[in-house]
Structure formats: C-alpha cells, structure tokens
Structure 1
Amino acid sequence: MTTATQTQCACESCHCPVSETEAVQKDGKTYCSEACAQGHPDGKGCGHAGCDCG
C-alpha cells in the first residue's frame, strides 16, 4: 500500500492539505485547486468544504 504525501496549499489564505497525486503545480508551487493556482480570478474560495480562501 502506497501512501500519498501531503503538503499545505501554497495559497497564503488557504488551509487545505494537498495530496501530491491531486495537486495543481504552478511556478514550482503546489496548490489544492486551479482557483488557488490562478490567484482566485473569480473571487474567493477553492471549492473545498469549509475553506473561504482567496
């Protein structure tokens, strides 16, 4: 059984853990979603329950 490594989303206001297998990579940083990776161009939130980052 292989366990995926998790890290914190690189978005400063986001508190979501990120699995390496589901991460969005941009500019050498790891994000939990495209919204975080793109700087929240459509407003707040990454789409994950309970997180209001951005």
Structure 2
Amino acid sequence: MTAVTQMKCACDSCLCIVDTSKALEKDGHYYCSEACASGHASGEGCGHKGCGCHGS
C-alpha cells in the first residue's frame, strides 16, 4: 500500500492539489495556503494560477 502524497486542498471552493508533505495542516485537513487554512478570514484567495477560491 502506498501513502497518499497528493490531495485536493480542503477548502471547498479551491481547485488546488497539495503535496501533503508541504501542505499547511490544520485540524487534520490539508490546505494549499494560509488563506484557505484560515477560511479566507480576510476574503483573499490563495493566489494560485487558475484558482478563484474565496471564503463563503
């Protein structure tokens, strides 16, 4: 069995795929950026190309 090393960012509106060894982990979920991990508290997106994620 191989370990999962890549998964979708835990932010619902985010399209990013994160490497679990480099991702931001918060409460057992993996995020691509501090913006996603904080639930977009400031309303900013992750800033990654092609992704328009934001807070709900």
Q: How would you bin the TM-score normalised by the shorter chain?
A: 0.7 to 0.9
Unpaired stretches in structure 2, ≥5 consecutive residues: none
- TM (norm. structure 1) is 0.83
Q: Could you say which residue in structure 2 is the equivalent of 1:29?
A: 29
Deviation at 1:50, TM superposition (A): 1.2
**Which stretches in structure 1 are left out of the alignment for 5+ residues?**
none
Matched residues, number: 51
Q: CA RMSD in A?
A: 1.4
SS at match of 1:39: coil
Q: What letter is aligned with 1:23?
A: A
TM-score (norm 2): 0.80
- Where do residues 4-43 of structure 1 align in structure 2 (5 Å cutoff)? 5-43=5-43
